[in-house]
Amino acid sequence: MRNVSVADFDGLPVDVLPIGTDYPPDHLLARHEHRRAQLLYGASGVMLVETGEGSWTVPTDRAVLIPAGVAHEVRMLDVTTWSLYVEPDAVPWWPTVCTVVEVGPLLREVLRAANALEVPYDEAGRDAVLVRLALHELQRVAPIPLTVSLPPHGVLRELCRSYLAAPDVHVTNADWARAASVSERTLDRHFREATGVGPAGWRVRARLLSSLPALRRSSVTDVAGRLGYATPAAFTAAFTKAFGAPPSRFR
């Protein structure tokens, strides 16, 4: 099914609801949650997912597994999605926090076919086999660390959210300390308590994540310069260290 509301079909007696959606450019899905677990796959574009715990960047041909009942918002950058909404009891192995995963060729084609199904489908026929295959393949996917933690509330969370929206290599700990009306030492201590990392390291990772949408339309050289790296090689090394793969994998 395409471009329908999951709420209209949530009560159907099927474990898996496949629903595809086409979004306008830069569309924001405001904070919401689902009773079912959700596989949110980006067949095109880039998705930015945020919960109370963190922010996840989901490039084209990757997916994010969202647990049931977790409130989240999603910014869609030229995105077409293929989603599966799954009864929690059918996937006891589902992650308990949002997780970005690689989607291989087989799973991609299964998701494409599943999102063409009409619901309800024959649970004893080929359609049911198709969605069961999707669940089997999902147990084999590899996670990708395309995330940063977010402070749970207050001025630190607002500073992080603002930075994610407009990363700037020139922002310093002193700038953030002034904005939070604390000393740099206090800022560092509170930030580490909230996120597990220091604010400077957090900003480096946030800038690297911001390169993922840019890499869709710009060269590695252009993106590296925009983020303040002296050479494309330096950017590639930092990107690979952070995410386990070079930026060319995400172009």
Tell me the two tokens of residue 9: 């079909």
Tokens 């904070």 -> residue: 31
Over the stretch 37-75, which tens digit does the pLDDT of each residue have?
999 999 999 999 999 999 999 999 999 999 999 999 999
Return the pLDDT at 122: 84
The more confident residue out of 216 and 182 is: 182
Over the stretch 96-112, which tens digit does the pLDDT of each residue have?
999 999 999 999 999 99
* pTM for this model (two decimals): 0.93
What 3-state class would DSSP assign to 197?
A: coil
Distance CA(159)–CA(180), nearest Å, equals 9
Report residue 130's pLDDT band, with 50, 70 and 90 as the boundaries.
very high
Return the pLDDT at 251: 75
Report residue 124's pLDDT band, with 50, 70 and 90 as the boundaries.
confident
What count of other Cβ atoms lies within 10 Å of the Cβ of residue 69?
11
What count of other Cβ atoms lies within 10 Å of the Cβ of residue 157?
15
Question: Across residues 141-170, what is the average pLDDT?
Answer: 95
Selection from 20, 16, 24 nearest residue 5 by Cα: 20
